[in-house]
Amino acid sequence: MSALFEPLTLRSLTIPNRIWLSPMCMYSAASEGPETGVATDFHLAHLGSRAAGGAGLVMVEATGVTPEGRISPWDLGLWNERQQEGLARVAALIARHGAVPAIQLAHAGRKAATDKPGRGGAPLTAEQGAWRPVGPSALAFDPEHQVPAELTEAQIAAVVEDFAAAARRALAAGFQVVEVHGAHGYLVHEFLSPVSNHRTDGYGGDFAGRSRLAREVATAVRAVWPADLPVFFRVSATDWLPDAPSWTVEESVLLAKELQAIGVDLVDVSTGGNVPHAKITGEPGYQVPFAERIRRESGLPVNAVGLITDAAQAEAIVAEGRADAVMLGRELLRDPYWPLHAARELGVPRNWPAQYGFAVGPRG
């Protein structure tokens, strides 16, 4: 039997295999008027095809919990009922193809109000509709980005409730897994890291202060999410700044233990994003050791992500206990049917969608 194709049960939810679609921003939501932040037909085609292609869990991209929490004007949102209705169609289609519908809830913090990456990804100008980003401290991500407004404690409390409200809408839309985005230099990660958090109140300073927002958001989301369904948390395990005060894998392990006590069921382990031009070693599976360490030292299930490209590599990661699942990004962009091809390579019987049987034949 293949470890990669063994089901994984978290709480009462059984995910049919360990190959999951990583949340990746598509910058394809409606960007104006009452449809702002609403999923389009593109999202149905994009996410539905990955579910039909055999992914066990399909996670919707970073979805803004507030308008100012979007990375760009073309991000998905989940702060109103119209956005909920659009995402309900997506969740239903994913489930209809046998995958678990999941969604990542996010606030971009100081990295908000940028253009699409395909147009350079630069911070928007006022003429282009830029809004004022917010953050833990009045520190810009880089010289090109705006200096964010430092959040007050009352505003932080509102952000926590925004995450909880978005989680309620995600549940009503039919999602079975919700993930808090605490990585890649966005708001929750900004609070975690001393690089971006220079506060001197209860949300800054030592690990307990810097991790307070992460714990409060996780607690609020867990409180509104059903007890029989899992909550995930994505973390950047390191800022990749070994010679300066920064967020580290050691603190990521501590955070995982805190999250486990709160009721988080899995840590989605990535790295980086909070420091421009960080020196990252981008070799195959380069983030897997971070996932492995967090799993080993915290006891929480984890998934690994980052340059996982072939079936044998993915199988080994799970079979050797380095992670409980793998998330694929670029590979599933290139090939929506990667899981079915991997099954064939590993000798695991899998049924292709009946509509494609003439193309696949007995090899499938």
Annotation says 186 is catalytic: yes
How far apart (Å, rounded) are the C-alpha atoms in residues 64 and 181?
A: 10
CA distances from 240 to 23, 142, 237, 289, 323 (A): 22, 16, 9, 14, 21
How far apart (Å, rounded) are the C-alpha atoms in residues 213 and 315?
A: 35
Nearest-10 Cα torsion for 243, 249, 252, 254: -100
Among residues 186, 286, 337, 356, the one annotated as catalytic is 186
The dihedral region occupied by 263, where left means phi > 0, alpha psi between -120 and 50, and beta the remainder, is: left
How far apart (Å, rounded) are the C-alpha atoms in residues 250 and 35?
A: 42
Tokens representing 5 are 């194709």
Q: Could you give the angle at the alpha carbon of 178 between the alpha carbons of 177 and 179, nearest 5°?
A: 125
Nearest-10 Cα torsion for 270, 276, 281, 286: 10
User: Which residues are catalytic, by number?
Assistant: 186
